[in-house]
Amino acid sequence: MNTKLESEIIADDEINLYDYWKVLVKRKKILIGIFLVPLVIVTIVSLSLPRYYRGEGEISNPALPAPNIVRLIGSIDDAQKVKIFANNSGAIKSVSISIPKKSTDKINILVDAKTADIMPQAFKDIFNYINNLHEIKEEIARIQAETDLKTERLIEETDFQIKRLIETMKANLVFLNQITEMMKKRQMPFVSVNPADLIKKDIDLSLEIMRLQRAKTDMMMKKAQNVKVTAGTLGPPSITKQPTNSRIKQIIMITGLLSLFAGIFVVFFLEYINRMKAREKWGTAPHDNR
């Protein structure tokens, strides 16, 4: 019996895959225990943590370059959350403002909150906060002044074009009447001209005058409505229908992998210790087998 055990201990040390499998099966209870215990604990703790709704929105065509706005805002801490969201600050977990990939004229906003119903107001609060930043307000004021001046100039230019077209139209009508009268009197016109071309020109001038008058009316209406330049255009946010925590799955997966590797390590370490003890007991080494 002892001779058999000794021969097993001092047998060839090369271990194939089947040997690994036998070791794992032999100590499967230890392996399963080390794998499951931390995994179950981490899963229970992770699932017991509060989960949040996530909203994602976008500001397009900002007054300043998007990187400048993101730099001005920086990371939003708890003090800023109280300032931005007022009474809803306690329900807001985090706010992230960044620039979408392959975009220079948009700002991406991510908000995690305890309830979904406060999301629309939260995005409006962020947009108002951006609008009221000192640097943004200065840039908006500059753009507003330029826009107003440009509108006034466009109205003046449109007025001037309308007046010129009216004068051209009157001259064309006078010329058409002269040609018509000469043809009635069977007189030879002093220039070769087709009255149909003059009539077509009169129609074209009338249509162009009407187009310019509509454009002028639109510009004057916008000016009267006092349309203001803002920090950009806030699109409607998309909100998750169910509360989520994006890190729960990641934490559970990492814990499972670490637990599995730890279990495998402990199993083979224990096997190694047992082999060393057995060799010391019999006072033999693998190369003593003759």
- Cα separation, 123 vs 59, whole angstroms: 10
Q: Report the Cα 147 to chain-centroid distance in Å.
A: 29
Question: For 212, which DSSP code?
Answer: H
53, pLDDT greater than 80: yes
- Cα separation, 35 vs 53, whole angstroms: 31
pLDDT tens digits, 80-130: 888 888 777 888 888 888 888 777 788 888 898 888 888 888 999 888 888
Closest C-alpha to 262, from 35, 33, 21: 35
Domain boundaries, the chain: 2-49+246-288, 53-135+234-239, 137-231
pLDDT tens digits, 147-194: 888 889 999 999 999 999 999 999 988 888 887 877 777 766 556 767
| CATH fold label, 53-135+234-239 | Alpha-Beta Plaits (3.30.70)
42, pLDDT greater than 60: yes
